[in-house]
Amino acid sequence: MRGPGETVVLGVDPGTAVTGYGVVRSGADGGLSLVECGVIRTDARAELADRLRDIHLGVIEVIERTHPAAMAVEGVFYAKNARTSVVLGHARGAVLLAASLRGLRVAEYPPAEVKSAVVGAGRATKDQVGLMVQRLLKLRAVPKPHDAADGIAIALTHCFRGYGPTAKAPLDLKLKMLGLPGGRR
């Protein structure tokens, strides 16, 4: 149950093998707390379509369990291998579809902005991100694996930058049915 002035943000670090997520509550007083974090793993031997289905369903499950007010997703980055970028784009699509189907507004943050918001340096390492997530949320240990810590960092970035007068407008994703001539769908 959410109190007055509280908001819950789901941060997602998409990947086809491992999708990390973190759910952060921002209190009316500005205090931050971790609701939950984890990863959605897919079977490496499965076809891409099946892996995307598993990512989509996993994100839907997290949304239904935690009832976030918004979702923050790591933005597109350009890998050295073009195929890697395209496949990552598919995983992002599965995540964005889950948000749209559940009526969530989505904000995207580039990896360097997430690192800068959480660590203070856009070229921070995964270990540095994990340590700062631990420190900022006063956790007993660094969240594992790195993908979960990255999901939390994305949610924190939205808490730090996603509200107020300097906030970037989140993507307003709406699912629209494409009508065919003659009323068929």
Backbone conformation region of residue 77, classed left if phi is above 0, alpha if psi is from -120 to 50, else beta: beta
| 50 is annotated as an active-site residue | no
| 147 is annotated as an active-site residue | yes
Q: Are 53 and 59 in contact (CB under 8 A)?
A: no
- 54, 74, 108, 150: the catalytic one is 74
Which residues partner with 21 through β-bridges? 12, 38
| 13 is annotated as an active-site residue | yes
- 54, 108, 147, 150: the catalytic one is 147
Is the C-alpha dihedral spanning 26, 39, 106, 104 positive or negative?
negative
- 13, 54, 108, 150: the catalytic one is 13
Q: Which residues are catalytic?
A: 13, 74, 147
